Chains A and B, each alone.
Chain A
Amino acid sequence: MKHDRGEGPGGPVLAVEGLWKSYHGAPVLRGIDLSVEAHEVVCLIGASGSGKSTLLRCVNLLETVDDGTIHLDGVEITDVRADPDDVRKRMGIVFQAFNLFPHMTVLDNITLAPRKVHGVARPEAEERARELLDRFGLADKAGAYPDRLSGGQQQRVAIIRALAVRPRLMLLDEVTSALDPELVTEVLGVIRELKAGGMTMILTTHEMGFCREIADTVCFLDGGVLLERGTPEEIFTDPREPRTREFLKSVLDARRI
């Protein structure tokens, strides 16, 4: 399957329809509908436990869904015959905890998937990795092991690692919440760069200010239901749903303490 990463086919990059997911009989996602256009940045917000991470994990096929469909570039990836490895090749996901491989250098972390999954030769893979490291201010860390990096540096490497395979779609799950405030800025800088480069992204965050700045579309999840969807303007200044208003108010109150 060949993909032109710059501009995909006409339709949405990602289309989630009627997605249900339960753990041990307790529904966590309840009929989610979500579509993401090329170059669109979608930000998922919602209380802890509302199912944001679960949604991203389902999209990445790290979880099997109970019902509904997910299409990537018009192809159904929830089809039982679809090859999850092939689907994941086209997506990058970065988790809250960095999950770098501790026994590999930064460079090896980044080039592992290009070399072993995409068949890129080592010199080219390393060249691209160094380019990315350079772009995100980590050129001198190529040979370092993850435990020698600060949290912010580790998280930037994790993002670069996901980027190295030129994904069609990036999924970022609370990539700043394990970081000290002063390290958050540098990671947010990377995400801004990605947006400027036209990357299609879904991200979850508790940084409302950042969400408002970076998102094209904000989705509010409440108890596994996608309750409200709109532009940052709409959601943050004039939310339709009382639950959304309540959530945003509680976040603001928490900030004040």
Chain B
Amino acid sequence: MSEVTWVKSERQLQRERLRRVRAARSGTIATVSTIVFLGVLAAVVTGSPGWPRVRDTFFSAEAFAKAWPDVLDGFWTNVTIFLIAEPLILVVGLLVALVRTLRAPVFFPLRALAVAYTDVFRGVPTLLVILLVGFGVPALDLQGAPRDEVTLGVIALTLSYGAYVAEVFRAGIDSVHPSQRAAARSLGLSHGKTMRYVVLPQAWRRVVPPLLNDFVSLQKDTSLVSTIGVVEALRQAQIYASSKFNYTPYLAGALLFVLLTIPMARFTDHLAARSQRRRGQ
């Protein structure tokens, strides 16, 4: 290699100076416009005729402080349900997606079952699944069937979300180019090994962002189990709100859910950015 050293030209130095000035200017504009926007928003809301009443029923510091411990306590139930349901959903989703890739005729019944499962549970509203499982399963009076509401809630959420997640996995598997499968099969890898070593690792990277999105949605939907008698954050807030005619506890609940989903959302962004960088390498 020849010895050539690079000294930045006057033109380049000028270009960089200009770039810095422009960056500083856009920072200032962003700050000022944000402040103005928030100011106007606050003025409109607090200036509205109903504001004093809304402030007392939704933003009462006293009610917030009183309800917070109970709402927070209930919220741990949401977190528990989420943490148990999430891995179960991943397993169910992956298994169903894999079953749908099996081509051998022996597996026909399994495959048909997997198709029926995704069709049914993707179509029925989650709330309905929860009600049907929550009230239906105990009514069966089966030996060994769970009766505990939290367990029933987890089962219902797993059934409902498992169908979604199976479709996400299937889309990921289908997105791996067929030539990859052909290349693996031509090396003598069986269907199973092709899936395991070639298709799934590539599919996995593509399904993580949509999966995380589904899980953010699941975090919120854990509150639906309140309908079958689980006393979680929403239910606690409801109890408080209906006895005191003050809705501030709902706000406390909303705040908790937001606090839980924000890290998940940032994590999703982080993963997306990382895979973007990887691809760029």
Contacts and interface: CB of A to CB of B under 8 A. Distances in A.
Interface in A4-59: none
Contacts of B46: none
Interface in B43-95: none
Contacts, number: 58
Nearest to A171: B186
Contacts of A116: 189, 193, 197
A200 to B, nearest CB: 17
A161 B7 CA distance: 46
Interface string A53-81: 00000001010000000000000000000
Contacts of A97: 179
A172 to B, nearest CB: 12
Interface string B167-187: 000000000000110111111
A63 B202 CA distance: 25
Contacts of B279: 147
A112 B186 CA distance: 12
B281 interface: yes
Nearest to A148: B281
Q: Interface on chain B toward A: helix, strand, loop, or mixed SS? A: helix
A132 to B, nearest CB: 15
Contacts of A103: 201-202, 205
A89 interface: yes
Interface in A96-111: 97, 99-103
B183 to A, nearest CB: 4
Contacts of A91: 186
Size range of the interface on A? 20 to 34
A165 B188 contact: yes
A117 B180 CA distance: 17
Interface in B237-281: 279, 281
A85 B190 contact: yes
A93 B281 CA distance: 28
Given A85-B188, A113-B188, A148-B281, A99 B183 contact: yes
Interface of B: 179-180, 182-190, 193, 197-198, 201-202, 205, 279, 281
Given A62-B182, A100-B183, 16 more contacts: A60-B186, A84-B185, A85-B188, A85-B189, A88-B185, A88-B186, A95-B183, A101-B180, A101-B202, A102-B202, A103-B202, A112-B189, A113-B189, A117-B189, A147-B279, A165-B187
